[in-house]
Amino acid sequence: MRRISLLAIVLITILSACVSTPDDIELLPSGETPFAFPPPSTSTTTSKPKPTVELPNATGSIGDIKRGKLFHEAVRLSSVIVSPTLIDSRFNSGVWGAVLMYRPDTIGDSISPTDGMLDAVLRDYGYVTGARIEREPSGDSTTSVLLQDMVLIFKDDASAAAATEVGFRLRDEQRSGTNKRVRPIEIPDFPQAKAYAERANGSDVGATIAYVQRGPIVVRIATYSIPDDEAAKTISRYLASQLSTLERFAPTPVDKLSSLTPPFDPDGSLLKLASDSTTVNPLGIGGVFDTNGALLRQADFQGWSEVYGASGVDRLMVSDTGEVIRAADESGATRVLAKARPEFVARKGYKPTGPPPTLPSADCIQYVSSAPDDDPLQRCLFTRGRYVTWIEGKRSVLGQRVQDQWNRLG
Q: Say if residues 382 and 363 touch (Cβ distance below 8 Å).
A: yes
Q: What is each CA distance from 356 to 228, 298, 366, in whole angstroms?
A: 53, 27, 12
Pairing relationship of beta strands 190-200 and 315-318 according to DSSP bridges: unpaired
Q: Find the DSSP H helices in 149-300.
A: 157-169, 228-246, 291-295
The residue ranking higher by pLDDT, 190 or 348, is: 190
pLDDT, tens digit, 9 for 90 and up, residues 17-37: 333 333 444 433 323 345 555
Query: Tens of pLDDT along 44-81?
Result: 445 666 788 899 999 999 999 999 999 999 999 999 99
Distance CA 245, CA 80 (A): 6
Q: Where are the domains of the chain?
A: 2-15+48-254, 271-409
Residue type, 132: R
Q: How many CB atoms are closer than 10 A to CB 8?
A: 16
Over residues 82-105, the pLDDT tens digits come to 999 999 999 988 767 899 999 877
For the chain, how many residues are written? 410
Nearest to 392 by CA among 383, 401, 384: 401
Q: Which residues have a Cβ under 8 Å from the Cβ of 153 and sit 6 or more positions away?
A: 73, 77, 127, 128, 129, 130, 216, 217, 251
CA distance 331 to 187: 46
- Neighbouring CB atoms inside 10 A of 188's CB total 14
Using a pLDDT cut of 90, give the percent of the chain over it.
67
Query: Could you tell me how far CA 137 lies from the centroid of its own chain?
Result: 18
What gap in Å lies between CA 3 and CA 1, rounded to an integer? 5
Indicate the residue type of 108: G
Task: Please check the confidence at residue 396 and state whether its pLDDT lies above 90.
Answer: yes
Residue 271: how many other CB atoms lie within 10 Å: 23
Terminal-residue alpha carbon distance, the chain: 45
Q: What is the pLDDT of residues 325-337, one digit of tens each?
A: 999 999 999 999 9
Any idea of the CA torsion for 107, 113, 116, 120, to the nearest 10 degrees? Answer: -70
Q: Name the strands in the sheet holding 322-326, side by side, starting at the edge strand that comes first in the sequence.
A: 288-289, 315-318, 322-326, 387-394, 377-384, 363-367, 350-353
Q: Which residue has the higher pLDDT, 130 or 17?
A: 130
What is the average pLDDT across 390-409? 97
Per the model's pLDDT, the better-predicted residue between 190 and 25 turns out to be: 190
Query: Which residues, including other chains, have CB under 8 Å from residue 34's CB and lie 6 or more apart?
Result: 26, 27, 28, 66, 67
Look up the CATH number of domain 2-15+48-254: 3.40.1000
- C-alpha to C-alpha distance for 146 and 229, rounded to whole angstroms: 15
The per-residue pLDDT of the chain, averaged, comes to 86
